[in-house]
Chains A and B, each alone.
Chain A
Amino acid sequence: MGEFFDIFIGSTDVFFQGLWLTLRLSVVSLLIAIVIGLFFAMLKISRIKILEIIADLYIWVVRGTPLIVQIFILYYGLASIWLIPEFWAASIGLAFHSGAYIAEIIRGSIQSIAKGQNEAARSLGMNRRLTMRRIVLPQAFRRAVPALGNQFIIGIKDSSLASFIGLQELFGVSNTMGSNSFNYLPYFFTVAIYYLVIVLVLTVAVNQLEKKLAVSD
């Protein structure tokens, strides 16, 4: 126990570097994932068969393969054509992955917006695009906040896989230090606490955001 506290206190600077990388990876991949998710959500509701099939295919591939395989294919596969830095390989891999889940989240929340909203906007002369951008999406995003927050939390934990392509994010740091000292367990306990705290902070933040958005409803 004493050993664990020594490590926990003594290695904060290294862990903080790992934490910083984890946060950057998670946020960057979330932002890319939202763009990807929005794009495929639009394909899914386009009512154009071929576009729907493309979106389904994407979601099927993402759901049907392990994330680590996706990251490896992206990193080693793309590396043969174009040397992509580890950070971006991991960010894009993670985004490609959560993008599929986010596409389903956004599609669901778009479809949960009452039909009357669409009709009211159209009856005012707003075209489909404008209606989507100004009326439906802002409401859909608000409604999606809890699910997106949840997906972000999953993304933070998933970002630990980036260590497999050499990134010293939180998990990578704990793994490296563990192997250097031949004493893994205290480092893994330490990293677990870091993840728990991030997730706790994030859960509270999402709840607050949710409450704040509800006020204007």
Chain B
Amino acid sequence: MTKPREMIRVEKLNKSFGDLHVLYDIDLKVNESDVVVLIGASGSGKSTLLRCLNFLEFKDDGKIVIEGEQVEAATHDLNKVRAKVGMVFQHFNLFPHKTVLGNVIEAPIQVKGMSKKEAVKEGKRLLDKVGLGDKYDIYPSRLSGGQKQRVAIARALAMQPDIMLFDEPTSALDPELVGEVLETMKELGEEGMTMVVVTHEMGFAREVGDWVVYMNEGRIVEEGQPDHIFDHPKEERTKAFLNSIL
């Protein structure tokens, strides 16, 4: 058996906001095509960890290795790294002054220098894929939350990232719209995308996740395969958390 390719490795990552220490000695590994699900109570540092992986926040110390390369803000072109790591946000953050297709083709054209024709072709393919083939030319304000989030996913995919990060992608959605977004993410996972997902959707974590990481107060308390975490958690804190949300 060949050793799986390591996409992300985090070692002893620490992060503070002023006096508030939010992440303590985080170690994390994500292999190619893995779907890693981060769970934990509000304020436990899940978003901060994800944002450090995309360099929207900067670590205090520790190592972040992306696709075999240790990335440091001082020496690396973070724009290049970010282009390889897509991110989907809780509040979508679509560009309201651009059409659906305009949102999707913006970065490929401006960052990758792709021709408009090619970007449009690829953008349409991705929008078709997330089920929005009839919405190219409308503005985001006219979409439902679930549609917005699918556009956001297509927009991130248009950069052909190797890794996708999701920060509570369904938390801002009406319950009846959650399913369509999770379905899109599930398909992506099945196609072999490497994903790190922060979510409170335990059904998704169990079904799609390859690895579940439980965080509490800035530390990784327990991690393992979904059935291990959900059915046989070892730590009291994990049990308490799962009881509180299920």
Contact = CB atoms under 8 A, between A and B. Distances in A.
Contact of B107 (A116, A125, A138): A125
Interface string B177-213: 0000000000000000000000000000000000000
B79 interface: yes
A217 B106 contact: no
Given A119-B56, A134-B110, A217-B141, A127 B93 contact: no
A42 interface: no
Interface string B78-90: 0110111111010
B97 A119 contact: no
Contacts of B85: 123
A30 B106 CA distance: 30
B91 A116 contact: yes
B93 A124 contact: no
A123 B82 contact: yes
Contacts of A142: 97
Nearest to A115: B93
Nearest to A133: B110
Q: Which of A121, A125, A135 has the most CB of B within 10 A?
A: A125
Contacts of A119: 56, 87, 89, 93
A63 interface: no
Q: Interface range on chain A: under 10, 10 to 19, 20 to 34, or 35 or more?
A: 20 to 34
Interface in A202-217: 215-217
A139 interface: yes
A216 B140 CA distance: 9
Contacts of A127: 79
B230 interface: no
Contacts, number: 71
B110 A139 contact: no
Given A124-B83, A217-B139, A117 B95 contact: yes
Contacts of B94: 120
B165 to A, nearest CB: 8
B10 interface: no
B89 A138 contact: no
Given A119-B89, A217-B139, A126 B97 contact: no
Contact of B96 (A125, A130, A134, A139): A139
Interface string A184-217: 0000000000000000000000000000000111
Given A120-B89, A124-B106, A125-B159, A217 B83 contact: no
The 10 closest A-B pairs by CB, nearest first: A125-B83, A120-B93, A124-B107, A116-B93, A123-B87, A125-B111, A125-B82, A125-B79, A127-B79, A138-B97
29 contacts: A116-B89, A116-B93, A117-B93, A119-B93, A120-B87, A120-B95, A120-B152, A121-B95, A122-B56, A122-B82, A123-B54, A123-B86, A124-B107, A124-B111, A124-B155, A124-B159, A125-B80, A125-B84, A126-B79, A126-B110, A126-B111, A127-B79, A135-B95, A139-B96, A215-B139, A216-B96, A216-B97, A217-B97, A217-B139
Interface of A: 114, 116-117, 119-127, 130, 134-135, 138-139, 142, 215-217
